[in-house]
Amino acid sequence: MESIRERTEREERERLSPLAAQSARAHRQREEEECTIRTKFQRDRDRILHSKPFRRLKHKTQVYIAPSGDHYRTRMTHSLEVSQICRTIGRGLRLNEDLIEAIALGHDVGHTPFGHVGEEALRLVIKHFEHNEQSIRILKVLTNEGKGLNLTAPVLDGVLHHTGDGVPTTLEGQIVKIGDRVAYLCHDYDDALRAEILKPGDLPEAVREVLGMTPSQMITTMVIDMISVSEGERKIRQSERVAKAMQIFRRFMFSEVYNSPKLREERRKGQYIVQALFDYYRWNLDRLPAGYLAWAEGNETQAVVDYISGLTDNYAIDLFQKLFVPKH
């Protein structure tokens, strides 16, 4: 008798585009018994969603460090928004939404406390640190007490190549690569308006004319554009007009928000905390929680990076105060 999983796999073959990734063809690092209900990609999504690293994202900065307000994005809300945007694109192109969702939920689990500020801090100390590579290390090794989640190759490939020069091997991964940028630009712009760092009139004219005025209009424009120009293609792309407007939008956001003088002092503090904690644990390895040295196979620097990069913003601040601030 056909199991629910086998029925779903059959429906994928019948319903999805010939260019879509098929869950039945995916392979894991370690082979394991199949679930009778869920496909491999569905299980990957569930493993990520129920993991500790994903839960920690609710207390990790997107742009604003410890913002005064309940409505600013965190890494968790960003990941959920990336998933929603990318699944919409995937459905329009008849691609595998379960694979898209797994990649989107897992793509940022390697982010440090204080977002890109913490990433830059570690990079200054150890010369090379990329959050996408740390995401892979978390998913393959650190989660589940050093056993990892044993995810499929297409999910890991999409997470690794969601940023940087590499291109994901699946169309689903390519959707997340562009959709991640769509999400953070539009939603960080929305948060910048809320924080009064920007006003609606500050948006470049070229962006307003092509993408729209509001985050919702911008997302809709870019989603429809990606579906329209990628239909039946072996590569996910944008039209030249929309891609150019998006680049202008990105340069504007880096200039006026991400590198804004208004955020500079908080960024400096976050960077200082990460570097101070790194230095402390590098010279006090016995204070690291159990397991990190073993999971790093004796590489002391890697063990410290693994611990520090996994901290949430609030935990890093509390730890800094505990270690360096005298009690009254």
Domain 4-265 has CATH 2.60.40.1110: no
**Domain regions of the chain by residue span:** 4-265
pLDDT for the residue numbered 71: 73
Q: What is the mean pLDDT of residues 242-249?
A: 98
Q: What is the mean pLDDT of residues 105-115?
A: 95
What is the tens place of the pLDDT at every residue in 20-41?
Answer: 999 999 999 999 999 999 999 9
Read off the amino acid at residue 234.
R
Residues 109 and 94: their CA atoms lie apart, in Å, by 27
Q: Which long-range contacts (CB under 8 A, 24 or more apart) does 199-208 make?
A: 202/256, 203/249, 203/252, 204/248, 204/249, 204/252, 206/244, 206/245, 206/248, 207/245, 207/248, 207/249, 207/252
- Residue 49: count other Cβ atoms within 10 Å of its Cβ: 16
166, 150, 149: which is closest to 158 by C-alpha?
Answer: 166
Q: What is the mean pLDDT of residues 11-26?
A: 98
Residues 82 and 86: their CA atoms lie apart, in Å, by 6
pTM: predicted TM-score of the whole model, two decimal places: 0.96
On whether the CB atoms of residues 57 and 108 are closer than 8 A, the answer is yes
Tokens read off for 172: 């689903």
Read off the amino acid at residue 314.
N
Residues 239 and 122: their CA atoms lie apart, in Å, by 36
- Out of 21-35, 58-72, 75-89, 290-304, least confident range: 58-72
What is the tens place of the pLDDT at every residue in 156-184?
Answer: 999 999 999 999 999 999 999 999 999 99
What is the C-alpha R_g of the chain? 21
Q: What is the mean pLDDT of residues 107-111?
A: 97
Read off the amino acid at residue 174.
Q
